[in-house]
Chain A
């Protein structure tokens, strides 16, 4: 079985927001809401400053709280572990939005459906393509692929870097991991 994983290397990320724009374009995201943002966070004391670029999106939990609370099973997991939404049976109770520890979900202001990052599963990945954000990243900060395939790009990135999985204390087992920023001023 495939296990799709995405790694965001914060050392390579320059905060250009190309991924965010590509995502909006690919998924036709409504105005005012976001499946994906890259936040810039300035740290340290002058002159030892550094800027971290942090990706904010669904992390594709293996043990997903959003799936657990959904009363109609509109939020579900595919065999590959991708968390998706069946809009036809979602009542938009917003329970999943509140349950997601990563603030990854929102209510679409127009359709009232729940939106979030899908790893572009239905529109791209299922057809063998890469997610839109990954394809446009100019610095190749994003890597996506099957972690169970040892020859895949993403397996190599995981093998050669120390990967941080956010809020691992919650036991949600994210499939979006990060290589933490080591560049810029030191402040620790």
Chain B
């Protein structure tokens, strides 16, 4: 631009770009995968069914730590000064949501790895590549009586991780699409839903041997409920903006009518991520034997929808400000 006062570029720059969107997705997915693994594990304990170490627990135990590690890597790479990231762990500001998030993640991430090591104890000891870890698994084994507490703590941390990503954005007062108390709830629900989808896919791909039809069915039904719950939450988000009036109302309208991000919302989030899984559940999966093609398709659609929801919120939030 050629104003007498100079370039306006810095005022419309996207300061949090795609790595943040993917990070928010992966953090939610990791937390969701862990929550599901624990839920399944606890249920199986109570039912006292044979395969306690069922595919879903394994899938969640491996997806959780990997997803959060990749996410954190992206987060660090996106810093303007990636090599100075260690300051985040040395200096704290307890009124900053980001500091709280760092603290939660500093506990959540290692415990999610610990959980994976507990679940894969046998595999680690039997594998050629990983057997060097067996002294550690043996050491962990000696604390087996504490395993239950680790699980409880991990569950609470997973919920915190999924929600903090929403609070991280909602702390930004300037951006109406972010500055809403609905965001943590939306991120928790959609993270949960993406965790289920990821667990089913990972379970089908790697742990077929111990795959349990019932648990897939149980999870798909659970996922459907999560998606159904996402609909009113999304509606509340936009109604909230509408009733807030002024700039916030304007921002909401801009976002869902934006040529790029509006499309992303209607096609990606609503049609692909919400409507199509419901249609598949109501038709192909209903009363039928659960056919793998539909299960896989369903899970992919859900994951795409959740990624695009994060992109939509991150980008439209920064662009559509109602001004």
Quick one: CB contact mask for B68-107 with A, threshold 8 Å, 1 for yes? 0000000000011100110110111101111100100000
Query: Smallest CB-CB separation from B174: which chain A residue?
Result: A101
Taking a contact as CB atoms under 8 Å apart, the answer to whether A94 and B80 are in contact is yes
Interface size class of B (residues with CB under 8 A): 20 to 34
Contacts A68-B96, A91-B79, A107-B80 given: A97-B88 contact, CB under 8 Å?
no
Residue B171 at the chain A interface, CB threshold 8 Å: yes
Q: Is the interface of A mostly helix, strand, loop or mixed?
A: loop
Query: Smallest CB-CB separation from B178: which chain A residue?
Result: A98
Taking a contact as CB atoms under 8 Å apart, the answer to whether B5 and A93 are in contact is no
Contacts A20-B6, A39-B5, A97-B15 given: A92-B81 contact, CB under 8 Å?
yes
> Which residues, 10 to 61 on B, are CB-close (under 8 Å) to A?
10-11, 13, 15-16
Quick one: CB contact mask for B118-133 with A, threshold 8 Å, 1 for yes? 0000000000000000
Q: Is the interface of B mostly helix, strand, loop or mixed?
A: loop
Taking a contact as CB atoms under 8 Å apart, the answer to whether B6 and A91 are in contact is no
Interface size class of A (residues with CB under 8 A): 35 or more
Please, which residues of chain B bring their CB within 8 A of the CB of A94? 15-16, 80
Query: Smallest CB-CB separation from B93: which chain A residue?
Result: A73
Contacts A101-B174, A107-B15 given: A32-B7 contact, CB under 8 Å?
yes
Please, which residues of chain A bring their CB within 8 A of the CB of B102? 71
Contacts A15-B4, A99-B173 given: A71-B99 contact, CB under 8 Å?
yes
Taking a contact as CB atoms under 8 Å apart, the answer to whether B15 and A69 are in contact is no
Expressed in whole angstroms, the minimum distance between the Cβ of A15 and any Cβ of chain B is 7
Please, which residues of chain B bring their CB within 8 A of the CB of A89? 84, 87, 91
Residue B308 at the chain A interface, CB threshold 8 Å: no
Please, which residues of chain A bring their CB within 8 A of the CB of B10? 32-34, 103, 106
Please, which residues of chain B bring their CB within 8 A of the CB of A40? 3-5
Expressed in whole angstroms, the minimum distance between the Cβ of B76 and any Cβ of chain A is 9
A77 CA to B159 CA, complexed, in Å: 34
Interface of B with A (CB < 8 Å)?
A: 3-7, 9-11, 13, 15-16, 79-81, 84-85, 87-88, 90-93, 95-99, 102, 171-175, 318
- Sample of 10 more A-B contacts, CB < 8 Å, known A39-B3, A71-B96, A98-B16: A15-B4, A32-B9, A34-B10, A40-B4, A70-B96, A71-B93, A73-B91, A74-B91, A89-B91, A91-B84
Closest 3 CB pairs of A and B: A92-B80, A112-B80, A71-B98
Can you offer 15 A-B residue contacts whose CB atoms are under 8 A? A17-B4, A17-B5, A65-B173, A70-B93, A70-B96, A71-B102, A72-B87, A73-B92, A91-B84, A91-B88, A93-B80, A94-B80, A98-B16, A106-B13, A170-B173
